[in-house]
Amino acid sequence: MNDIANSKAAVVDKLVIIGAGLIGSSVARAAKQYCAAKSIIIADQNKAVLDEAQALAIADGYFDDAGEAVQDADLVILAVPVGAMASVGEYIAAHLKSGSIVSDVGSVKNSVLLALAPIISDHVHLIPGHPVAGTEKSGPSAGFASLFDGRWCILTPPDGVDAAACSTLKAFWEQLGSTVEVMSAPHHDLVLAITSHVPHLIAYNIVGTANDLETVTRSEVIKYSAGGFRDFTRIAASDPTMWRDVFLNNKEAVLEMLGRFSEDLTALQRAIRWEDGDALFELFSRTREIRRSIIDAGQDENAPDFGRKH
């Protein structure tokens, strides 16, 4: 738990979160729990989502009109799918207070920056962001306050952004328990292509392939899934809208990383065909080290089989 943050003063007065799904509702819960904002407002176009958020009592106000919600906001965080960022930005632009900060949580950064920069006025500080934390679930009930605790949050401020605004946004995420890193939007997209986007594509693909097999039945795939397959199914259960938008908006970086992946896969195919055990052993030893480094960096638990009960 982020106990230190509990005793700190609020970083902003009025926080508005647009999109009350997994990430938006988690930001609201964390901001409330760790007192990062004096008042927390949620806006969502979907009445059922808004009602669900209200029933969970995760904010101080609920709006179906994002334009109305952002009046007098100090910090606005767009937590909608990447493909919806531009239309939401366009809708709220005229209602934003001069000096306010507009950020987002989208999994792709350069397309969000390019879409929002021409829309958001020069009197508003646009600083895109991405908390590198999440689950395969969606919707307000899936959120939780500790989601960002001990996780990275990457900010991708455009050149010339106001330093004080950047410090405020950094302090906000730190209050939620994150460690903040700043990098350019294109670099973010390259890094996330290999650490997140391509792994999701591989999971979607392998689960799809298994589903289409004719020689192995679907019930056999499910029955024997503990052999490794089920770990891919968790990732492949992720939100279809969100992930469609990620691939459409990070096309170049994903294709670049997929090219590298395909080459390495071909090399593995060759090693199996030619029974090159040394090549296989060498790779599998290196990859085991990567797992160890992730655990050492506190980015996962050391429990065997992801801590499942047996």
Residues at the site binding ligand NAP, with contacts judged by CB under 6 A = 18-24, 44-46, 49, 66, 79-82, 84, 87-88, 105-107, 130-131, 134-135, 138-139, 239, 242
Task: Please state the closest distance from residue 236 (CB atom) to ligand NAP, in A.
Answer: 13
Residue placing its CB nearer to ligand NAP in the complex, 49 or 185: 49
Rounded Cα gap, residues 53 and 62, in angstroms: 8
Beta strand 61-63 with 12-18 is unpaired
CA distances from 74 to 110, 136, 170, 222 (A): 23, 30, 14, 49
Q: Count the residues in the chain.
A: 310
Residue placing its CB nearer to ligand NAP in the complex, 62 or 279: 62
Task: Please state the closest distance from residue 42 (CB atom) to ligand NAP, in A.
Answer: 10
Residue placing its CB nearer to ligand NAP in the complex, 62 or 162: 62
Residue placing its CB nearer to ligand NAP in the complex, 156 or 221: 156
Amino acid residing at 130:
H
Question: Which residues, in sequence order, are CB contacts of 236 under 8 Å at separation 6+?
Answer: 200, 203, 204, 206, 207, 208
Task: Please state the closest distance from residue 270 (CB atom) to ligand NAP, in A.
Answer: 35
Rounded Cα gap, residues 95 and 233, in angstroms: 42
Amino acid residing at 121:
S
Task: Please state the closest distance from residue 143 (CB atom) to ligand NAP, in A.
Answer: 8
Task: Please state the closest distance from residue 22 (CB atom) to ligand NAP, in A.
Answer: 4
Residue placing its CB nearer to ligand NAP in the complex, 78 or 207: 78
